[in-house]
């Protein structure tokens, strides 16, 4: 509940596109791999890596696309520097409060397998921690201030990730 004098923000105030965190994580992993190469090959046959890699990448793209489509149909802000018009609780948002971020994580894991780079997987928890710290916390605070009890009820029903 807001107190007198509190201002309700017009958007979460995230100044960069969140997928950039995943891109940076992959880029850093590729740089590290140039100096300390660790692949999946000794542990996972290349054919299995490719099947899993393409599968995760395509599944992640499908989830991200579904999330974007759902937001577009609701005519609410997709980017976290835009205002939300409503709490979207349909489509993939019935299962996860952050399905697009789940999709990007799946894409990242798929890319790790496709490029045979374990460092991508090692750095993914740091990317997710940065995502939580710089993006999700801001989004959730904004949605709580904008939608109050409606958003708190949604949070109680739907998990953050899966």
Tens digit of each residue's pLDDT (9 = 90 or more) over 85-110: 999 999 999 999 999 999 999 999 99
CB 20 within 8 A of CB 156: no
Within a domain: 51: yes
Tokens of 142: 């904004």
Within a domain: 29: no
Within a domain: 146: yes
pTM for the predicted model, two decimal places: 0.91
CA distance 9 to 12: 7
CA distance 104 to 89: 19
pLDDT tens digits for range 59-74:
999 999 999 999 999 9
Q: Is the predicted pLDDT of residue 4 greater than 80, yes or no?
A: no
CA distance 41 to 6: 55
- The C-alpha R_g of the chain, in whole angstroms, comes to 18
Q: Is the predicted pLDDT of residue 3 greater than 80, yes or no?
A: no
Within a domain: 107: yes
Within a domain: 1: no
CA distance 111 to 10: 35
Within a domain: 147: yes
Q: Is the predicted pLDDT of residue 29 greater than 80, yes or no?
A: yes
* Domain count across the chain: 1
Q: Could you tell me the residue range of the domain that residue 61 belongs to?
A: 40-80+89-157
Within a domain: 50: yes
């Amino acid at each position: 509940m807001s107190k007198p004098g509190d201002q309700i923000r017009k958007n979460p105030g995230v100044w960069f596109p969140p997928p950039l965190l995943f891109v940076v994580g992959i880029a850093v992993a590729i740089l590290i791999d140039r100096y300390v190469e660790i692949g999946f090959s000794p542990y996972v046959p290349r054919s299995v890596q490719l099947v899993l890699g393409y599968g995760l990448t395509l599944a992640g793209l499908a989830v991200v696309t579904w999330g974007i489509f759902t937001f577009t149909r609701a005519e609410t802000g997709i980017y976290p520097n835009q205002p939300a018009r409503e709490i979207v609780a349909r489509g993939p948002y019935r299962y996860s409060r952050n399905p697009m971020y789940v999709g990007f994580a799946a894409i990242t894991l798929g890319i790790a397998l496709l490029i045979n780079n374990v460092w991508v997987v090692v750095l993914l928890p740091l990317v997710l921690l940065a995502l939580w710290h710089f993006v999700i916390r801001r989004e959730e605070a904004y949605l709580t201030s904008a939608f109050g009890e409606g958003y708190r009820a949604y949070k109680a029903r739907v998990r953050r990730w899966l």
